[in-house]
Chains A and B, each alone.
Chain A
């Protein structure tokens, strides 16, 4: 009898525990999604008001596709500026991220395999500088450099790319280094013993192993470059009205306000971002299914 009671008690306790953890799970999910919604809310808000032509965001004077029509109208001066800035932003991000990825990956490999400890420590320290340094200090220091070297290195697209490489290269190094640590060190030696040259061993053995790190470094570089304003403002070309999206918006704010078709442009960007979100989800769930299948096959 006493036994039965305890069994019942345990059952009840287990049930309670399960309900509690279920509630906890739901609350956790709700919390995460609320924060996510808040993160996207300002962009969604702009996107909503892209469908009205009222000059101030937040005021509505009738539904219209006017902003979109203006954005794609060939002769529109402001729209041309927006597209020009968008092109520049993409170009800088891709160029800077490519350079960062190549230099940073080689740097990470070099730092990891250096035999002298002081070199490794010194390089690790230098890598940390742009990360911990305030962006404005990095920006003005580069600006001062380009002023001094203005004879042979005037402010141009090139200096802007250098600025963005400085910004993102530490993150490439920091993404690649852990992958090198996970690597089996004997593989490289084995490749060499089997007759591979150093370059070949590097290409065929080391690089394939650290590809995930390189990729995440590249993506981080792109992200940082797209999100940057301060370094861009201090290293961008001074002549010829060169703008990226961030400097364009800032200068438009200081003059007559951001034109209404920029809201349409933001909405398109949001659509692109959401598309990437969906794609990522689809790809990851597919991957999960494949791994699940594999595990099942193994178990069978």
Chain B
């Protein structure tokens, strides 16, 4: 009996020693180290070096002494914020109706919102640009993209990032406790109270992740800004692209790296805000972005 137990112990120990399933993440870890972490480290390195690889802060000077760059950062912030707010305002009811069995029994409907993504967004943006110009031209006699470029850019961004706002909200709302909503209504809460005191608090993690999924990509989606404003609106993403694409300066990549770090900094700040907001929510941790 004892011997059997002992051999069992040994077997368990042997099993413990080599964690087969745990070891499966090694290829993934290697891949991520090589193609995610190392490239970012390179960007850091570039930001603090000159063309010969010597340490310098001059790239930072190049970026921050140019008032045009500050202007671009400000405009980017404005466009991204407005886009995010509009996206949430549209996506919230859409996700609510889609996830609620009372309004929608068709589970695949949410995927139909994603399917336009199979047609590349460059194509869709060009279509949208042509379509809204067609509409404003025939209604008011002007082309929106050249008369009100900022409005056109926001419309383009909302159009392209709406699915990214719908999905996290939808996933969060599926998990929502519907009994609680009914209970609140039964206990005499009016619809507005149910909405603001019940539904909104339950979906805060979804709102936060939907905000992230729209705010952060809009800052870098220079293609939409380019096409929707006839190349009149510049956002941070475009600045980075310009520097990396230019061959006029031998420190182009270095200055571009500084701008990338500025962007990473903004993203980092947004993430910290997100963490503090969703930490207040107990179950906010387990919500994936999708």
Shortest B276–chain A CB gap in Å is 15
Contact indicator per residue, chain B 204-216, by CB within 8 Å of chain A (1) or not (0): 0000000010001
* Nearest neighbor of A133 in chain B, beta-carbon distance: B267
Q: Are B120 and A226 in contact (CB under 8 A)?
A: yes
Q: Given A35-B90, A107-B29, A132-B271, are A249 and B122 neighbors across the interface (CB < 8 Å)?
A: yes
* Nearest neighbor of B90 in chain A, beta-carbon distance: A35
Contact indicator per residue, chain B 39-78, by CB within 8 Å of chain A (1) or not (0): 1101100100000000000000000000000000000000
Shortest A6–chain B CB gap in Å is 18
The secondary structure that dominates the B interface is helix
Q: Other than the known A198-B21, A266-B119, what 11 A-B pairs have Cβ atoms closer than 8 Å?
A: A45-B134, A56-B130, A57-B126, A106-B28, A107-B27, A134-B219, A136-B240, A137-B220, A145-B42, A169-B32, A188-B21
B115 at interface by CB-CB < 8 Å: yes
Chain B residues with CB under 8 Å of chain A are 15, 19-29, 31-33, 35-40, 42-43, 46, 90, 93-94, 97-98, 102-109, 111-128, 130-131, 133-134, 159, 162-163, 212, 216-217, 219-223, 227, 237, 240-241, 244, 253, 256-257, 260, 263-264, 267, 271, 288-290
A191 at interface by CB-CB < 8 Å: no
* Nearest neighbor of B124 in chain A, beta-carbon distance: A42
Q: Are A41 and B219 in contact (CB under 8 A)?
A: no
Q: Which 4 A-B pairs have the closest CB atoms?
A: A110-B25, A107-B28, A42-B127, A141-B39
Q: Are B120 and A227 in contact (CB under 8 A)?
A: yes
A70 at interface by CB-CB < 8 Å: no
Q: Given A35-B90, A137-B263, are A132 and B216 neighbors across the interface (CB < 8 Å)?
A: yes
CB within 8 A of A134: which of B37, B120, B217? B217
Q: Are B260 and A137 in contact (CB under 8 A)?
A: yes
Using a CB-CB cutoff of 8 Å, which residues 129-155 of chain A contact chain B?
129-138, 140-145, 147-148
Give the interface segment out of A8-16, A71-79, A268-276. Answer: A268-276
Q: Are A277 and B40 in contact (CB under 8 A)?
A: no
A246 at interface by CB-CB < 8 Å: yes
Bound-state CA distance A36–B19 (Å) is: 48
Q: Are A141 and B42 in contact (CB under 8 A)?
A: yes
A-B contacts, CB under 8 A, total: 271
Q: Are B32 and A126 in contact (CB under 8 A)?
A: yes
What residues of B have a CB within 8 angstroms of the CB of A66 in the complex?
Answer: none
Q: Are B290 and A175 in contact (CB under 8 A)?
A: yes
Chain A residues with CB under 8 Å of chain B are 21, 24-25, 28-29, 31-32, 35-36, 38-43, 45-46, 56-58, 89, 103-104, 106-115, 119, 123, 126-127, 129-138, 140-145, 147-148, 162, 165-166, 169, 171, 173-175, 177-178, 188, 192, 198-199, 202, 206, 220, 223-224, 226-230, 234, 244-246, 249-250, 253, 258, 266, 269-270, 272-273, 276-277, 280-281, 283-284, 288
Shortest A296–chain B CB gap in Å is 17
* Nearest neighbor of B115 in chain A, beta-carbon distance: A273
Residue from the set A106, A115, A144, A175 with the largest chain B CB neighbour count within 10 Å: A144
Q: Given A39-B162, A113-B22, are A229 and B109 neighbors across the interface (CB < 8 Å)?
A: no
Shortest B271–chain A CB gap in Å is 6
Q: Are B122 and A246 in contact (CB under 8 A)?
A: yes
What residues of B have a CB within 8 angstroms of the CB of A41 in the complex?
Answer: 128, 131
What residues of A have a CB within 8 angstroms of the CB of B260 in the complex?
Answer: 134, 136-137, 140-141
What residues of A have a CB within 8 angstroms of the CB of B134 in the complex?
Answer: 45, 58
* Nearest neighbor of B25 in chain A, beta-carbon distance: A110
Shortest A107–chain B CB gap in Å is 3
CB within 8 A of A140: which of B112, B123, B244, B288? B244
Residue from the set A25, A39, A198 with the largest chain B CB neighbour count within 10 Å: A39
Q: Are A45 and B244 in contact (CB under 8 A)?
A: no
5 A–B contacts, CB within 8 A, in A order = A42-B127, A132-B271, A136-B240, A138-B39, A169-B31
Bound-state CA distance A145–B257 (Å) is: 12
